[in-house]
Amino acid sequence: MKNGTIWCDDQGNTIQAHGGMILRHEGVWYWYGEHKDAPVSIQNGMEHLNFVGISCYSSTDLMNWHHEGLCLTASEDPANDLYLDKIGERPKVLYNKKNNNFVMWWHVDRRDYEYAKQGVAIAERPEGPFRYVETIHPLRADSRDMTLFQDVDGKAYAIFSSDWNKTLRIGELNDDFTGYTGRYKDVMQGQSREAPALFYRDGLYYMITSGCTGWRPNSALYAVAEDLMGEWRLIDNPCMGPDYRNTFHGQSTYVFAVGEQLYLMLDHWKPGAHELKSSGYSFLPITVRGDYMEIPWQDEFVL
Ligand code: GAL
């Protein structure tokens, strides 16, 4: 798996799991993401990559991936927020122990990115099918790039760019992970950060984000906090190596752990309705020591 390039599944097809995340459940890795190999239509005179659904891949070694198909599929009802004229981005899934089910949240939008909603769907099995629940404006606000984070105590949070991307909002989810409790915290206000990816290590919370330049790469920055809902301190760009200033031509989407080792997932976007499906991926090892973080470039993903 050569970092920065498109990867193939066990059938030789390009992996369509952009803006994705990796979940481990009962010894299997599940990779969820945007399926961009879809028809292009004209919406309001502009090319639009039809929303077809969210893909799920499974693997037992993080190297060989099997396509489980679309775990959330588009709706044929033009009034539904899963219709092809919508956008579905950055899907994230958590396992809910209380209900023994899987809850997906994702960014729902229109081509003009002014709809700015979140969707919720539920499945009994990690590979789906996910059943659409609803779309909302979380905490009565706009929401674009988003992620989910489960804390060590089991509580779940959605972290999303709000207030026209100016602020990152951390909202606590209810016990079912299907809605908000109302408790939230605004962080990095006025900093216009997006593409959040969080993790926890030895008493500190870490959040890697990108700037807001659309599909064009920019500098990643990380922030740390002692308390998820407390004060976050912006620290530095964690990337090291060639093109570290533009995140190796990539953008953060998720952090997963293999034992003690953390990896950052990047998307290497290829802008354009016909090109997005050829966007590449990277999984890069993360090193942390207190509030110091390093993400060196590696040509290949190796475990
Ligand atoms: C990026 C964002 C992507 C996508 C893109 C659209 O800033 O991270 O997920 O929304 O903008 O231009």
pLDDT tens per residue, range 284-302: 999 999 999 999 999 999 9
Q: What is the pLDDT of residues 170-185, one digit of tens each?
A: 999 999 999 999 999 9
For residue 233, count other CB atoms closer than 10 A to its CB.
12
For residue 219, count other CB atoms closer than 10 A to its CB.
15
Show Cβ contacts of residue 129 under 8 Å, excluding neighbours closer than 6 positions. 71, 72, 73, 123
Cα–Cα distances (Å) from 178 to 127, 161, 163, 167, 198, in that order, read 18, 19, 22, 23, 20
Q: What is the pLDDT of residues 69-93, one digit of tens each?
A: 999 999 999 999 999 999 999 999 9
Q: Is the CB of 145 under 6 A from ligand 1?
A: yes
**What is the pLDDT averaged over residues 142-162?**
98
Nearest to 32 by CA among 58, 1, 12: 58
The whole-number pLDDT of residue 219 equals 98
**241 alpha carbon to ligand 1 midpoint, in Å?**
24
Nearest to 224 by CA among 238, 213, 239: 238
Of 215, 247, 249, the residue with max ligand 1 atoms within 8 A of its CB, to mutate for a pocket test, comes to 215
Q: Is the CB of 109 under 6 A from ligand 1?
A: no
The whole-number pLDDT of residue 148 equals 98
Q: Is the CB of 215 under 6 A from ligand 1?
A: yes
Task: Indicate which atom in ligand 1 lies nearest the CA of residue 109.
Answer: 10
Task: Indicate which atom in ligand 1 lies nearest the CA of residue 90.
Answer: 9
Task: Indicate which atom in ligand 1 lies nearest the CA of residue 195.
Answer: 8
Nearest to 190 by CA among 234, 254, 148, 246: 234
pLDDT-based confidence at 31, cuts 50/70/90?
A: very high
Per the prediction, the chain carries an average pLDDT of 98
The whole-number pLDDT of residue 83 equals 98
Task: Indicate which atom in ligand 1 lies nearest the CA of residue 144.
Answer: 10
Q: Is the CB of 19 under 6 A from ligand 1?
A: yes
What does pTM read for this prediction? Answer: 0.98
Cis amide leading into 285 (omega within 30): no
pLDDT above 70 covers a percentage of the chain that reads 100
> Per-domain residue ranges for the chain?
18-296
Q: What is the pLDDT of residues 84-141, one digit of tens each?
A: 999 999 999 999 999 999 999 999 999 999 999 999 999 999 999 999 999 999 999 9
**97 alpha carbon to ligand 1 midpoint, in Å?**
31
Q: Is the CB of 195 under 6 A from ligand 1?
A: yes
The whole-number pLDDT of residue 195 equals 98
Calpha distance 7→211 (Å, rounded)? 26
Of 51, 143, 144, 265, the residue with max ligand 1 atoms within 8 A of its CB, to mutate for a pocket test, comes to 144
End-to-end CA distance of the chain: 11
Q: What is the pLDDT of residues 214-271, one digit of tens each?
A: 999 999 999 999 999 999 999 999 999 999 999 999 999 999 999 999 999 999 999 9
Of 194, 249, 252, the residue with max ligand 1 atoms within 8 A of its CB, to mutate for a pocket test, comes to 194
**CATH fold group of domain 18-296:** Tachylectin-2; Chain A (2.115.10)
pLDDT-based confidence at 44, cuts 50/70/90?
A: confident
The whole-number pLDDT of residue 276 equals 98
